Amino acid sequence: MTANIVKCLFCNKEFLLPEFKGSFIVHCPYCEFSHVYLPEDNTLSVPTQIEEDTLTSLDGIPLQNENDEFDLDNDQTISQTSFNLQSIPAPASVTLILEVIKGRDRGKVFNIKKSLTTIGRKDCDIVLDDSLVSRKHTSIEMISKDNIFIRDLASRNGIYINGKQVTMKKLYGDEIIKIGNTEIKVIIEK
């Protein structure tokens, strides 16, 4: 079986992708960003909710050869990518609201206006009163009005979206985020 090399749209790292008939979802092996792979053009794009729900999902294969080198300008770590988002204003055409629906902070509503918002137990943009939440637990990253992501920041108990544990996931609105014993409803208004 032959493989194609593609570049992640989020972390810019190259990875191998086995050939597959038709379009499908592929996850970057480095940052787990979801892409739609278009084999006719050998290109990646950001998936819609319908594509994520209906297409076959595969994992990309990391380049493991020691001779494989990355362009240092494009080989960003997750923390470097997140850090760079702090200087970018949030898209004006989208309103992101996080409503705490379960836990000690139930009833609190957070209107997100930054490109990068951290959530945790201490020293974060949103501080939750929950002993199962890590100090810096997760981040919400608003890249554009159609590209809003949640990312686990190597937390002790993980994050769950609609009951499924994830390390990174695109948000579309109406999801329930579970962090520790706290549940948060995601509302996106475009």
**What's the rounded Cα separation, in Å, for the pair 17 and 67?**
18
The reported pLDDT for the residue numbered 76 is 32
The reported pLDDT for the residue numbered 74 is 35
Alpha-carbon distances of 6 from 29, 46, 54, rounded to whole Å: 12, 14, 22
**What's the rounded Cα separation, in Å, for the pair 141 and 147?**
8
Burial of 108 (0-12, 13-18, 19+ CB in 10 A): middle
- Residue 171 and residue 148 in contact, taking contact as beta carbons nearer than 8 Å: yes
The reported pLDDT for the residue numbered 93 is 73
Our measurement of the distance from residue 182's CA atom to the centroid of its chain's CA atoms, rounded to an integer in Å, reads: 19
The reported pLDDT for the residue numbered 177 is 97
The reported pLDDT for the residue numbered 124 is 94
Nearby residues of 142 by Cβ (< 8 Å), 6 or more positions away: 90, 91, 94, 96, 112, 114, 115, 116, 117, 148
The reported pLDDT for the residue numbered 19 is 63
The reported pLDDT for the residue numbered 84 is 44
Collect the ranges in the chain with pLDDT lower than 70: 1-3, 18-20, 49-52, 64-92
The reported pLDDT for the residue numbered 120 is 96
